[in-house]
Amino acid sequence: MTPQRDRFIELQSNLLDELFALAPGEDQTRRHFEEMAIETYDCLVAQDFTHVSPFKLETESAFNFLRYGEKARSLVPGDLLQKWRDWERDYPKLLERNPRLELHDMLHSISESHDASSWPAGYERRIQEWIDSGELAAIPFIDRHGIVNSEFFERLRELRRRAGGWLYWDDEADCVIFAPEPEWQKVRAAQEAHAAAQAAELRRQQDRERRLIEMVKSAIGDTAFWAELKDREREIKRIPDGSPEMQSKLNELDKFFERYFKDAQGENRDIEIGELISALRWRAIHEIKFGVPEPLPGQAAREPLLAGYVRTPAERSYIERGPTGQLHIITGRESN
């Protein structure tokens, strides 16, 4: 026994717990697969085969032993290899007996086709709605692998009826869970409410971004304000970093901004004055350095509209115009 072996057994057991929860009454089948998996692990490790992951039930999965490749298969005795081949032969019968498990496999295939992930987390309800609608053409995901046809769709519809509920990813349990239909409808309603709240928050952020950009553009268009800001930046540039005079000038600059924006609140109370200072100071510094308000060096392709500067030299805030013309505010730390 080794810690690595113990860890493999733990992970394999956890995986089987999740899957066989969808196949009640299959205890003997589970024990058989678990014993086969551990025996295979022991054979591979004894032959210095590294990186053995828990084995999947699905015969087409890259984590099913028969998909490991010829080298791995040559490291196990013939009778063990035959067990895997028997599993491949009998697996469809296990699915036929357990519609929830087969439904799990099909949703996994959908997720693989959509974005190469293991589960369609977050859009399970869209798939359920599609199945219940009976409209094959209204596919709610990107079918990169071309798995969807009339046979696939009708099989999904049959499994949906036989399962008597639906599968979804539960963040708290950190696994896929089956919910009987009444429970699933409650889960689905909660997911819809959460999605609506997220959409509302996104709209709020987009509106805030728009108002921030309008305020910055308005300040730049104020000739007297803009000229005074650049004069102050030229003054600051001549002062040694860290000196008492530098701090005094920065404090004066803060008050200058506060005076200018004191009446510009109203609907913009959610916009911090520090954000405006960042965007306007960096824009002024850029104009002083380059003479004209052109894109920053090396960013011409993205056509930055504005850029923000904050007190710490390692940080920058940019208000940029993307390739489609949409404006973005980006704040981050510059690499050394």
Nearest Cα neighbor of 170 from 191, 147, 149 is 191
For the stretch 19-31, pLDDT in tens is: 999 999 999 999 9
DSSP string, 144-197: TT---SHHHHHHHHHHHHHHTEEEEEETTTTEEEEEEHHHHHHHHHHHHHHHHH
Domains in the chain: boundaries:
1-97, 98-204, 222-333
Nearest Cα neighbor of 40 from 23, 28, 53 is 53
pLDDT at 34: 98
pLDDT at 264: 59
For the stretch 163-222, pLDDT in tens is: 999 999 999 999 999 999 999 999 999 999 999 999 999 999 888 888 888 888 888 889
Instruction: Provide the 3-class DSSP secondary structure of residue 235.
Output: helix
Q: Dig out the tokens for 252 from the structure.
A: 């004066």
Tell me the pTM.
Answer: 0.71
Nearest Cα neighbor of 259 from 269, 280, 273 is 273
Compute the distance between CA of residue 310 and CA of residue 327 in angstroms, rounded to an integer. Answer: 20
Both ends of the chain: CA-CA distance in Å?
Answer: 47
Residues of the chain predicted below pLDDT 70: 263-267, 292-336
Instruction: Provide the 3-class DSSP secondary structure of residue 304.
Output: strand
